[in-house]
Amino acid sequence: MKDRIFKVFLLTAALTVFAACDNQFEGFTKGESMMTFTTMNMRLGDELPFYDERTAVKLDVLSEADADVICIQELYNSKDILKVKDFFEKDLKYNKPLWLITNEDDFEPIPPACTQEDVAPIISCYMENCMVEGASQTCILTECGTIFLTLPQACQTCLLGQGIGAIAGGDIQAVLQGCMTETKFDYNYDGNNGILLVSRYPMKNKGSLGLTSYGNYRMAIYATIQTSLSKPGIGDVQVICTGLSKLSDAEYGGLAGGWAQEQMTQVSEILAIPVKDEVSQRVIMGDFNGNTAGGYNIKESNTAPVSAIISAGYYDPYFDISEDDELPCTVCAENPMVETGADSIPDHIFFLNKRGFLFETKRTFINEFIKFENNKKERYSLSDHYGMTVKMTADPNF
């Protein structure tokens, strides 16, 4: 009997020790040291077919969501945004989502990139050196190039975008006029940006930034996720949810000079959003319309925007894979909504701090539906993108 009592005592003592270890002051439970992030471009505009069918299944697909933070792009219809917002808030019990419905009628005209004072030295140099007999077409470049470099950056960019070749060809008045007038664009979808940021936890330091855009109005929505109490092993995290303009064969009429230049301008604007001092991590997530090479199967595609973010010190864990392994695409030839045959990964979740954390990644929101009509079977998916999720865990050995 004494032996039995002694064994029970030892078992009770052991359980007490393990329980104390699991809840020790300096340690955290797994849930307190782990956070998940998901990005999904829903592409609910008029650029893809089956709009009504895709809109009808959006909540079915999103019901799979289980990440702590979700960044949704290209949800352009304001009614759809409100439905998705309510679904996350009321059905999936997320905290209040963050979004901003924008309308081009509310946008102020963009001020002129150049003022009369800015261009006066260029005009003076041009008239003095280039309006004489025998002056070459490149006169303004050779004689006034130094002055050009002293112009404000916005003015330089506009002049280059209007075509410095036109200036060299003698059409200086038209080019200057284009950079010295207010600009008001007619955006697609009435100027709605289509961005929705969802979090399980309260958000503070909320903000939005309209990005230099032409065609579709682009925006970054950001906030600090208040996880320092519920996830003390992680702390507060600043999240930026966005989507860049896409490269296009359509004529460009914006301020950046071209679609590729607009993407790089948008990246610079996003990176310039101030980092909050009190956060332990900063995350930039969304559709960046390009990727570096990854695994043995993903080829480079419009790498400049992604490379610029990585060069700024960010880490892209989805691409942290051996070149001998297969990297799951998010825009895939197997997806019935994808027109091109090449697999790619334009979707990214970037982390400013790699040290001190462990990362796991997976592809999410894989879906396909079939429509039967007039004895015809047609396949479609919610989007031509699948989703991407990254789990970030505090490194216990750091």
Q: Where are the domains of the chain?
A: 41-108+187-394, 116-179
Give me the architecture of the 41-108+187-394 domain, per CATH.
Answer: 4-Layer Sandwich (3.60)
Cα 75 from Cα 178, distance rounded (Å): 33
Q: Where are the alpha helices (DSSP H) in the chain?
A: 2-22, 51-62, 78-86, 116-129, 139-148, 153-168, 172-179, 259-271, 304-311
Separation in Å, CA 9 to CA 4, 13, 23, 27: 9, 6, 21, 26
- The reported pLDDT for the residue numbered 102 is 95
pLDDT of the residue at 23? 38
d(CA 388, CA 317): 11
Looking at residue 17, what is its pLDDT?
35
Exposure string for 111-135, b = 16+ CB within 10 A, e = fewer:
ebbbeeebbeebeebbeeebeeeee
- 3 state SS of 247: coil
For residue 254, the one-letter residue type is G
pTM over 0.85: no
**Model confidence over 350-366: pLDDT tens digits?**
999 999 999 999 999 99
Provide the token pair at 321.
């894979």
Buried b (16+ CB within 10 A) or exposed e, 312-337: eebbbbbbebeeeeebbbbbbeebbb
The pLDDT value recorded for residue 335 is 97
Q: Say how many C-beta atoms besides its own lie within 10 A of residue 82's C-beta.
A: 15
**CB atoms near residue 142 (< 10 Å):** 12
- Predicted confidence at residue 163, as pLDDT, reads 56
pLDDT number for residue 15: 34
Say whether 19 sits in a helix, a strand or coil.
helix
DSSP state of 91: I
What span, in angstroms and rounded, lies between the C-alpha atoms of 256 and 247?
13
Q: What is the DSSP letter of 18?
A: H
What pLDDT score does 138 carry? 73
**224-244, pLDDT tens digit by residue?**
999 999 999 999 999 999 999
Q: What DSSP designation does 189 have?
A: G
Query: What whole-number distance in Å separates Cα of residue 132 and Cα of residue 119?
Result: 20
* CB contact at 8 A, 40 and 390: no
Instruction: Mark the ranges of the chain whose per-residue pLDDT is less than 50.
Output: 1-26
Cα-based distances in Å from 226 to 213, 231, 278, 292:
31, 9, 11, 32
Residue 123's pLDDT is 85
pLDDT at 89 (0 to 100): 96
